[in-house]
A = this chain, B = another copy of it.
């Protein structure tokens, strides 16, 4: 083994250990920590983050990366080195002053957002958001220059490496043509399909038991993970100990049940990452778009189709008692309801991409200096009206101020959600084509054939390939909107 490679391997294993602590402390903060623990926790998190930064910034790491003999490395090791280089660049490229300013400003901006959104107060939020945008622009410029790309592409790459405007634009354009025409037709078709409301209370402990049943069915390994409750569902932890969360609504068990399916999709990706390199950068998940494809594939493609809703109905009636409102047919009406509305996170899978495209277009224009933060409400209003027929005049709360992402400086993040949905459709179609047993098995509550395909084609590769290589290898082509559009047509039209 090359001495330089060995050094880097051990150094990144050590960094992985520090990240283990970070991940678990973040999980604990959201799930377990009493509020009085925040000050000491923030200090601990900051010290761990600083330690990781120092490790990445060390002269030994730099010289090993420079001196390493790449001809002696295999495919995995080469990819591993590539990700190490990128981690080092990202940790060292920004001036310390900018990193500190960004941390302070996004924290202040996010805290203010929590209050101001409730007050529908765009006026006071705008200067804070402007400050954040100015700093993110500085960051994007530095990265863009280093990588020789456009500023917004540099941001996109932070969340979904290998994805840029050139990749996204034609895909989103296709959706922009299809969806605004399809949605009114679907809404019209669904007008006659009125669902029975759930007129019962769903006890939390029974919903918890149902959650565990669903996780087991999908293939979650409780020897390597657990489920808890938090304000917003998420998937955290580490590959050998994945921590997913949900929250329960006593009047609607579906909300939690589908969130659990979603997070279990994320969890199985983490659990399936390549064990042989598990402490190394090359074994990490490939990025947000792929991660989201795994959660949406399970939640929307597999668990919201008629095959699985039959199983879900059986489980629901086992836990909550026999009830017409829990029939397969009625659950389908609940789950597949399409309705253009204000809020992205509450959107159905058909209107959802338009919420993302709107944000993507705004972000592109913002980072191309074609618009300013002051223009956002008017543009938001115009696009919401165009794409979804929703009027957000003077409604900042449910309009331009609805997401936390911009306050926290996460520009370039949103596209991952829609790309994940499209990729989910494309991978699910490829999986079904490759193994005709997948759908009949799901109808029997058996996810093994599907999960085996996903593990074989996605999970086990970690970050070995680029985004486009991985998708092409798995589905025979680059990502496009056709599988998603076919899915919408088949399920809704």
The quantity of this chain's copies bound in the complex is 2
Q: Does A240 contact B (CB under 8 A)?
A: yes
CB–CB A36/B221 < 8 A: yes
Alpha-carbon distance A279/B44, docked complex (angstroms): 11
Alpha-carbon distance A48/B52, docked complex (angstroms): 12
Q: Does A364 contact B (CB under 8 A)?
A: no
Q: Does A224 contact B (CB under 8 A)?
A: yes
Within 8 A of B (CB), among A20-42: 20-21, 24-25, 28, 32-37, 39-41
Alpha-carbon distance A210/B239, docked complex (angstroms): 37
CB–CB A20/B40 < 8 A: yes
- Can you name 29 A-B residue pairings with CB atoms under 8 Å? A17-B44, A18-B44, A18-B47, A18-B51, A20-B40, A20-B41, A20-B43, A20-B44, A21-B21, A21-B25, A24-B25, A24-B44, A32-B32, A32-B226, A33-B241, A34-B222, A34-B223, A34-B224, A34-B225, A34-B226, A35-B223, A36-B221, A36-B224, A37-B237, A40-B238, A40-B239, A40-B241, A43-B279, A51-B51
Q: Does A46 contact B (CB under 8 A)?
A: yes
Q: Which residues from chain B contact A237 at a C-beta distance below 8 Å?
A: 37
State how many angstroms separate the Cβ of A138 from the closest Cβ of chain B: 29
Chain A contributes a number of interface residues (CB within 8 A of B) equal to: 37
Please name the 5 residue pairs, one residue from A and one from B, whose CB atoms are nearest each other, closest first.
A37-B241, A17-B47, A36-B224, A20-B44, A36-B223
- In terms of DSSP, what is the predominant structure of the interface of chain A? helix
Asked whether A40 and B223 contact (CB < 8 A) given A25-B24, A47-B14, the answer is no
Which of chain B's residues has its CB closest to A238's CB? Answer: B40
Alpha-carbon distance A364/B279, docked complex (angstroms): 45
Alpha-carbon distance A32/B25, docked complex (angstroms): 13
Interface string of A47-65 (1 = CB under 8 A from B): 1100100000000000000
Q: Which residues from chain B contact A47 at a C-beta distance below 8 Å?
A: 14, 17-18
Interface string of A215-246 (1 = CB under 8 A from B): 00000011111100000000001111100000
